[in-house]
Structure 1
Amino acid sequence: MLGRAGFSEDTAPSDALVAIPNGEGGWVVAGSLPEARALAGKVQGRHGTTSPEPPLALPEGDWELTLRTGWVEPAYLETDASWCEPGGEPFTSLANGGAFGGKLTTDVGRVARELAYEHRQAVRVVLSREDVVRTGPKRPPVAAGIRSDGSGVIRVVRTDGIAEAIARVAPQLVVEEVDVVGPPTSVDIRGAGVVEAQLLLAALDAKKNAQAIDGEAHVASVTSEDGAVATVVIGLDGGIRVDLRCGRLLDAIVLRSYAIGAVHMALGWVTSEGLSVGEDGTISDLTIRSFGVLRSADMPHVEVTLHEEDGEPVNGSDAVFAATAAAVWSAQGWPTDWPTGRSVLGGEPVTQ
């Protein structure tokens, strides 16, 4: 039913205790969330005063395109939460649609089970937005250079599985993993490594072609590992057209919404999103407003065309994500550092 998706916390017993991190690796347990916060001395919200900066230096070389990405927050809707009764199974933290891989390593379910057993009462474990930002995995930043023949070097913050992910889609790229003081990273974050390689190659093709299609020159196409094909056109008016083929359509309305969501995520990643991380690895941007997520007022019109095919349905939104990032980057003239701080066509600054 519309509006009834629910959150993990919604299903917890009304008399459940509440547990939150105490900031020292343990947990504060109390009768309510405000009480737990008071006991933990938690002050909500913080916005850093420094600008986000990409943490990696570019590889040396003569490159056709160069790219440096920074730290970004997955910024999923419901923060990590779970609850459990004594002797029961913890409720999933993915109840409200998941987190594009951001919750796959969360331990809130295990903690809820252990605390429920210890206190002999139902316990709900709740991470604040600040807790998620401080401890949750991030997309590993990259610094890449690519030649006109598609070969090149992509430096990436050391992450388990990232080299293999990149090699699957771009074996011609040399992967250099670099140790960096900063937040934890994960290859499970939406298309990590794969999307970066795909968008670099798609942007290279866009730069080579640089020819107008119906008067609109900013076009990028990506074919995913599963065979989905997304073509994204940035119009001269800043509007965005998405053409997507990803097998048999299970639900056109849902798929269209996923495609538009992927466009929104890509736009923010290229133009506005970033976390300020200190030399000691401490994140100073701890609120949703400070992440640079693109405001709805800044979202351009998006037109999505879906094609019914006979093949098995596959994930199409990740291809849209990569193609949009490549198209927007191309429309802005391929600036090296993200976020670019500019609107879709590289004009006025993005409001944050």
Structure 2
Amino acid sequence: MNASPSPDEPSAEVPTRAVGLTVDGRDVEVVDDGISLLDALRGPLGVHSVKDGCSPQGQCGCCTVLVDGTPRVACVTPLRRVAGRSVVTLDGLEPEARSRWVDAFVEHGASQCGFCTPGIIVRLDAVRAKGGDVRPGAVDRALAAHLCRCTGWQTIVEAAEDVLSGSTPVEVGPRDLDAAARRATLELGAPQQVGERVVLGAVGFSADTAPADALIAVPVPGSDDWVVGESLVEARRAAGKVQGRRTTVDPVPPLEVPDGDWDLTLRTGWVDAAYVETDSSWCVPGGDPSPAAANGGAFGAKRHSPLPAVARRLADEHGRAVLAQWSREDCSRSAPKRPPVAAGIRADGTGVIHVVRTEGIAERIRAAAPGLEVVELDVAGPPTSVTLRGAGWAEAVVLVAGVGAPSEVVSVESGRVGDQAGGERVVVRTSEGAVAEASIGADGIRVRAAGGDILDPVVLRSYCIGAAHMAFGWVTSEGVAVDAEGSVLDLTVRSLGVLKAADTPAITVELVPSDRPPVRVSDAVFAAVAAATWRFLGTPPDWPAGLLSNL
């Protein structure tokens, strides 16, 4: 499919000229050769609170700004169209309003990595400026233009409703943000900050901290080559980047269920980690490259990102600082995916599971389901990794829970979480001693989490909600279409299937106090909610199984 021209692609009809506009109250002038407003803001104007998560797809909302008071997505707004107009970013919001948003997001744990937060706040502040619509569903509608992988939306909605309603901030008592950061780091297995700078998107993302004179390097589509330019626009033009599209082909699990007499079967497909900050890393000649994940670990998907090595090599070759960047399309094609499985299991927990060949996957599966014979198969497709959240282990937990087989790792017990009569709950135990319980009902998802010393209840609750959201989406909506040759067809961030705020069930979290050392519990929450969701749906054999209409 041919892509339509993006604002990054020059046209004979768009002559180079200077465009004057006002940015955050400052009159500026930018040379325009067909670039987007986002290119101008992040490039010559140096405004880094405006993020690039998908340009020029216009789908993640991270580059949202106000143009004459109206929210606009900067990556699909040609610079020439804002000539003479007023552009306001997070940095230019009224100081009192910005402070209130920051406080509310910190109080509710509504920002984890912080990459998507500035754009979300800009849009929500436009709602506030127009009187603050707090009717049911109003915040969900405002968030429809945005994508957040981390939080599961609920804490964002809570923070927004507090600010928009004008309610007095809830006094949660003094917080130890160092302890909060310890809990956040523990849950993601990567350094994580907590506090005001996270909400402001100022935690040192590589694309924001590269030297101003750094060359920009991007990959050439369909090859292993990289090209460099003085700007991202120049590099992408030289590489011949074409905007990705969403395919009309539905995701299909690539593996067949093993032959056998099974009580349950399950097939999963290619699933993207769907992190919003695309991979980037910069390096100076002879130096050490910046991390691909500056705040949080992209749920394990960036652990072995190739970009730091690319940045180091190119910096040494060119004798200058180099910022290596993947586009959203590059992430869709090249970032590791969750290994697809196809399994059959009997009521006693024995069975066979086929899985796309992935280093370390067999051990992860056997840790939760020793009765499963693991058969790894070579399948044409994108790379896979066990570093993604609970990969292999969570699938095994789901299968064992599905048949209710005896297990030290997972059990299905009567009574829903929260001492509610009727129904059932799935209980998952990790080797580190964490315990998570999950149940699904008409009132949404209920979770109880025991991970030792809570350290900070706001952060732990937020990470449990995020894990529950991710698990529910994994079962019901997430998947990537891949053709028979192994090429990824879904190249937009929206096509990954991450649940929108409006489609996310209410999530109730109970945290169990303890004086034991803290351990990671969100992976157990992820597995427990996935298993509970699958059982609630009636154990459909193929994922994604489709959204529920009664939650």
Question: Could you say which TM-score interval applies, normalised by the shorter chain?
Answer: over 0.9
Q: Percent identity?
A: 56
The one-letter code of the counterpart of 1:88 is: G
How many angstroms does 1:169 deviate by? 2.2
Deviation per residue, 1:181-229 (Å, 9 max, x gap): 1111111111111111112122322999685543441421111122211
Q: Which shows bigger deviation, 317-326 or 248-257?
A: 248-257
Greater relative contact order (Cα 8 A, min sep 6): structure 1 or 2? 1
Question: Amino acid of the residue matched to residue 224 of structure 1?
Answer: T
Relative to 1, partners in 2 of residues 1:206 and 1:265: Cα closer, same or farther, differing over 3 Å? farther
Query: Which deviations, in whole Å up to 9, do the C-alpha atoms of 1:267-325 show, x marking residues without a partner?
Result: 11100111110000000101111111111111111111011112221110000000000
- TM-score normalized with structure 1 length: 0.94
Q: What is the DSSP-based 3-state SS (H/G/I as helix, E as strand, rest coil) of the residue aligned with 1:100?
A: helix
Which residue of structure 2 lines up, in the alignment, with residue 11 of structure 1? 209
User: How far apart, CA to CA, are the structure 1 residues paired with 2:487 and 2:495?
Assistant: 15
Q: Equivalents in 1 of 2:453, 2:336: separation in Å?
A: 33
User: What's the CA shift for 1:14?
Assistant: 1.2
Tell me the SS of whatever aligns to 1:36: helix
Report the counterpart of residue 522 of structure 2 in structure 1: 317
- Alignment of structure 1 residues 93-132 onto 2, 5 Å: 93-132=292-331
SS of equivalent to 1:217: strand
Which SS does the other structure have where 2:298 is aligned? coil
Q: Which amino acid letter does the alignment assign opposite residue 71 of structure 1? A: W
Code of the residue aligned with 1:10 in structure 2: it is D
Equivalent residue in structure 2 for 1:140, among 310, 318, 339: 339
**Which residue does 1:92 correspond to in 2?**
291
Whichever of the two has the greater Rg, that structure is: 2
For 2:380 and 2:424, the matched residues in 1 are separated by: 36
Shift of 1:342: 2.6
* Residue ranges of structure 1 left out of the alignment (5+ in a row): 348-352
Verify the 8 A CA contact 2:349 2:405 in the aligned structure 1. no
Which structure 2 residues correspond to residues 231-250 of structure 1 after superposition, within 5 A?
231-237=437-443, 239-250=444-455
Matched, 1:184 2:390: no
User: Quick one: structure 1 residues 344 and 328, their matched pair in 2 at CA, closer, same or farther if it must change by over 3 Å?
Assistant: farther
CA distance in 2, matches of 1:266, 1:94: 22
Q: Give the match's secondary structure for 2:491.
A: coil
Aligned mates of 1:151, 1:339 — CA distance in 2: 24
The alignment yields a C-alpha RMSD, in angstroms, of: 1.8
**1:157 is aligned to 2:362:** no
In the alignment, is the contact (CA less than 8 A) between 2:339 and 2:391 conserved in 1?
yes
CA distance in 2, matches of 1:328, 1:258: 18
* Alignment-mate amino acid for residue 226 of structure 2: W
The one-letter code matched in structure 1 to 2:335 is: G
Q: Match of 1:205?
A: 404
Match of 1:305 in 2: 510
Q: Which moved more, 1:336-345 or 1:269-278?
A: 336-345
Look up the match of 1:350. none
Q: Is the 8 A contact 1:8 1:96 kept in 2?
A: no
What SS class does the counterpart of residue 373 from structure 2 fall into? strand
1:173 Cα deviation after fit: 1.1
Deviation at 1:159, TM superposition (A): 1.0
Could you say if the C-alpha distance between residues 104 and 25 of structure 1 is closer, same or farther in structure 2, counting changes exceeding 3 Å? same
- Partner amino acid, structure 1, of 2:429: T
Distance 1:221 1:64 in 2: 21
Alignment match, 1:219? 425
Give me the whole-angstrom Cα distance separating, in 1, the residues matched to 2:260 and 2:311.
51
Scaled by the length of structure 2, the TM-score of the pair is 0.60
